[in-house]
Amino acid sequence: MGHGKEPVVRRWNGWGDEKIGYPLPESAAAFLGDLIGPGQELPDAALESVVTTVPPARHPEHPLISDAPLDRLLHARGQSLPDWINLRSGLINSFPSGVAFPESEDDVQELLNYGSRNQIRIIPYGGGTSVVGHINPEPDDVPTITVDLRRMASLVDIDHNSQLATFSAGITGPQLEEQLRPHEMTLGHYPQSFEYSTLGGWIATRSSGQQSYYYGRIEDSFAGGRLLTFAGPLDLPAFPASAAGPDLRHMVLGSEGRLGILTQATMRIRPVPEKEQFYASFFHDWNSGMAAVRDMAQARLPVSMLRLSDAQETETTLVLSGQDRLLPWADRGLRLLSYGQDRCLLLYGLTGKRKEHGRQRRQISSLVRAHGGLPVGGMIGDQWRKSRFRSPYLRNTLWARGYAIDTLETAVRWSTVGPTAEAIKDTLRNGLTGESERVLVFCHLSHVYSDGASIYFTYLFRRSADPVQTLAHWQKLKEAASECIVAHGGTISHQHGVGTDHARFLVAEKGKIGLQMIESARRSLDPDCLLNPGKLLGDRSSSLESDLRRGR
């Protein structure tokens, strides 16, 4: 079998384009060293070596399927921290037996028929950006084929009068926006993984973009589509509204490839905004900033994004920015205005008509000042806009310097945002004290609603020379934080989906009857459990640590 046609421009064991880096200033390295200890620079396994560990293919040959070892390695893992540990150590215990690159719905249907005939599992694959295990093959003897949809990346139809556009589901964020640009329209869905994630992946995981306050979450834009299943095609017409029974789109949203393969999606689009700009304000502390953001959301103020960082994230972000010359001056000026060590940074966006921009900005600034905040103009906001998709590259740099970094998120009511954030930070901060390791933790409110907000946590800890121990540290932190989320009534996932990492916690949110309903729908379309097993429902999940040890 031949090698896939896609050029290898992405890191095979990290984030993004190989040519793009994120330098870490020495002052930032010293900052991390003081907080959690000096990192240990450890060598990664070489690509040439890891490719040799890919076992022989075990599926019947098919002209649409490549069994090339490199193709299979590049589709073996996503972007979670456990995935990175697997890839960087070369200790990978499961690979797809083959990778298919369909170019049409007929190809996808043929692959489903092939899987059904041969009882071979199928994993739908978009951009490979999952951080909770969505695309990982199960570590057992049943062959798995990964179906990479990125060659199905076209604008199929656009209805200007209705502001609807239909796309092939393998289209990435930049491709989608580029194809809408000549029509002066936009979808406006900008998750941090925007550069590489796909429309089908956004729908399958119920993604939320950075400006969802203006453009909506993906479910707000998803008007209809086409799902190919083992039972046949499921067409979802794009009605403006319907009262004809349950909305089947919501079975597809968040289904994580368990029901079928989404091949087309019709999306609600809108004209490109006349003006868009991002601004920043500082608050004396987290509570005053949180109150301001809540008031903005409940007053339905015309913002496209609200992002409030806690004091630790505010400081860490400024330190890691590399603006060493500006930092002392900025710090001195803020302290003179009584914005001390507890200060918190709010980033907010204004998107819409040019003539309304000034009035909207004054309205936001007035509310900021009412809560003791300090509007500081557009410089910080402009810097954020320029680097909004570059920050994930910092993971590569920190890893090379000996630090593991991960994120997790939830959403809760406003009445519990404060206590939940503090409880989860405390849980993570103290999670490795028994291991004599410190953990740096910070958070921000990433998406806000009238009734609550999403809290997004980032945590860093030192890598161990033993990858199994690094994984064990991650497991301990992730498990404790997830239990804390459930105990505080939060959703186990606001925007990352369920995958395998969150599967055992789903019952707390859906209940046993709810899981039975999802499982009944899955079984009706895939009775042999061939589509992406182990994801969402956790029906075949296993211990990551034991998997890594077996891979060794």
First to last CA, the chain: 28
**pTM (2 decimals)?**
0.94
For position 552, what pLDDT does the model report? 42
Q: Residue 491: what residue type?
A: T
* pLDDT tens, position by position, 6-59: 444 689 999 999 999 988 888 889 999 999 999 999 999 999 999 999 999 999
* pLDDT tens, position by position, 162-207: 999 999 999 999 999 999 999 999 999 999 999 999 999 999 999 9
Distance between CA atoms of 373 and 237, rounded to whole angstroms?
47
Decide if pLDDT at 102 tops 90.
yes
Distance between CA atoms of 210 and 152, rounded to whole angstroms?
25
**Token representation of residue 430:** 């103290």
Residue 251 and residue 259 in contact, taking contact as beta carbons nearer than 8 Å? yes
Coil/strand/helix, residue 406: strand
Q: CA nearest 77: which of 140, 129, 25, 7?
A: 129
Phi, psi of 99 (to 5 degrees): -130, 130
pLDDT band for position 466 (50/70/90)? Answer: very high
pLDDT band for position 417 (50/70/90)? Answer: very high
What domains can be seen in the chain, in order of their start residue? Answer: 53-150+524-551 (3.30.43.10), 155-238+246-271 (3.30.465.10), 275-387 (3.30.70.3450)
What lies within 8 Å, CB to CB, of 378 at 6+ separation is 277, 278, 279, 280
Number of H helices, E strands in the chain: 20, 18
Q: What Å distances lie between residue 193 and 16, 126, 129, 285, 314, CA to CA?
A: 9, 12, 7, 30, 22
Residue 274 and residue 354 in contact, taking contact as beta carbons nearer than 8 Å? yes
> What Rg do the C-alpha atoms of the chain give, in angstroms?
23
